[in-house]
């Protein structure tokens, strides 16, 4: 959201943001104020959207998708109504599908055109969870919730005036559904000046990985890498070292640490951590939308090996801007190729940065989104 707000601000758009400060991704008030984009009105609400057994059980009786219903908050609803009554807006943008729970209030109190910025095809992520779930009871519950989520997602996408997908793959899925709302592709971007190429770091590790392991797809992908890929890398290149960072790291991961594998449950500065590696990995097996992590690696000129899902939404050319590999053997081989090829890494660093500058400059993306807005006003 910050990158999109910055993109619109750079193009002289007046913004008012209402944000949820969830317990899962909680930010202290001082941190929010410090990092608030200049010239933007921002209000935030501390809310608890954590899953708990009681509310998850009660949800079975509601017929609603628990994935989104827990984002409906009374304080935010009241403030939204106050703001809609007192202020004229040309466009109201819902940042992600869960915010569509506020559509009834928006339609009742405002005549603004409504745009949903679709980060993912949400039900698709959970469908992949269902496919990987082994516990029969949990699998049945997730399958029910996924069906409800899909129904909510389809209805919501038809109720808005426009949709800004962050990947062309997601837009295609929507059109294959027979979706009728106007839509565009508006990928996430970064400001080049704020994300210069990484340089001047001492290489402490051959490989680096960084992800929030409280998100199931990240945890599943990390487990796949550590159990299926990492042993193959060590077999081919026993001297390989790795810095493996991940918030909320499971104990079983920490137990896998060794003189080659350094595990970091807490990483203070992502850029510094990644900068101390030669090659980054994105071992994602589920998800949808676009990977901000890969976008940052491209901006920083970081040679990267990713699964195809990890690169969704970013049309990198294989072995030019990064390497895509989907099975343990080819993933390990790609890592070894880059670690053993200094010239290949240097060429990829240059090509990755150039690809980022050509396709994901925030100011340019902001202008494109504003043109889409104008078709709706």
Mean pLDDT, rounded, for 83-105: 95
Q: For the chain, list the domains and their CATH numbers.
A: 2-189+362-376 (3.40.50.2000), 193-359 (3.40.50.2000)
Section 343-362 average pLDDT: 94
Task: Average the pLDDT over 125-142 and give the result.
Answer: 84
> Average pLDDT for residues 44-65, to the nearest whole number?
78
pLDDT at position 351 is 97
Distance of CA 30 to the CA centre of its chain: 24
Q: Say what the pLDDT of residue 9 is.
A: 67
**Residues 158-181: tens digit of each pLDDT:** 999 999 998 888 899 999 988 889
pLDDT at residue 64 is higher than 70: yes
The string of DSSP codes covering 142-202 is HHHHHHHHHHHHHHHHHHSSEEEESSHHHHHHHHHTT--SEEEE----B-GGGSPPP-S--
Each residue of 213-252: pLDDT tens digit?
A: 888 888 889 999 999 999 999 999 999 999 999 888 988 8
The H helix count followed by the E strand count for the chain is 17, 12
Average pLDDT score over residue span 137-157: 91
Token pair of 137, please?
A: 């009871």
How would residue 130 be classed by pLDDT, with cut points 50, 70 and 90?
Answer: confident
- Nearest partner of 290 among 40, 120, 145, 164, judged by Cα: 120
């Amino acid at each position: 959201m910050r990158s999109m707000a910055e993109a619109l601000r750079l193009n002289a758009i007046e913004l008012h943001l209402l944000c949820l400060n969830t317990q899962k991704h909680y930010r202290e008030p001082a941190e929010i104020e410090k990092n608030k984009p200049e010239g933007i009105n921002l209000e935030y609400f501390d809310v608890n959207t954590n899953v708990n057994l009681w509310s998850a059980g009660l949800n079975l009786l509601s017929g609603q998708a628990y994935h989104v219903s827990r984002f409906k908050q009374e304080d935010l609803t009241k403030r939204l109504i106050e703001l809609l009554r007192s202020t004229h807006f040309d466009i109201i943008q819902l940042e992600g599908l869960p915010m569509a729970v506020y559509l009834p209030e928006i339609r009742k109190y405002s005549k603004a055109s409504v745009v949903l910025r679709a980060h993912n095809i949400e039900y698709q992520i959970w469908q992949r969870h269902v496919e990987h779930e082994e516990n029969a009871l949990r699998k049945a519950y997730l399958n029910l919730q996924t069906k409800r989520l899909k129904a909510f997602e389809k209805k919501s996408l038809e109720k808005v005036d426009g949709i800004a997908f962050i990947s062309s793959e997601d837009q295609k899925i929507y059109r294959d559904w027979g979706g009728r709302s106007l839509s565009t592709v508006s990928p996430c971007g970064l400001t080049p000046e704020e994300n210069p190429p990484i340089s001047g770091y001492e290489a402490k590790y051959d490989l680096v990985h960084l992800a929030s392991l409280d998100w199931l797809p990240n945890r599943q992908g990390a487990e796949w890498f550590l159990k299926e890929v990492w042993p193959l890398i060590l077999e081919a290149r026993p001297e390989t070292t790795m810095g493996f960072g991940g918030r909320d790291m499971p104990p079983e991961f920490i137990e896998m640490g060794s003189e080659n594998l350094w595990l970091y449950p807490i990483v203070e500065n992502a850029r510094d951590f990644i900068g101390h590696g030669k090659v980054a990995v994105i071992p994602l097996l589920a998800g949808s939308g676009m990977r901000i992590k890969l976008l940052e690696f491209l901006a920083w000129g970081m040679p990267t090996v990713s699964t195809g899902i990890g690169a969704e939404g970013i049309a990198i050319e294989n072995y030019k801007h990064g390497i895509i590999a989907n099975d343990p053997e080819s993933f390990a081989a790609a890592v070894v190729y880059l670690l053993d090829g200094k010239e290949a890494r240097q060429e990829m660093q240059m090509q990755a940065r150039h690809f980022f500058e050509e396709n994901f400059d925030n100011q340019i993306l902001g202008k494109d989104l504003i043109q889409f807005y104008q078709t709706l006003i």
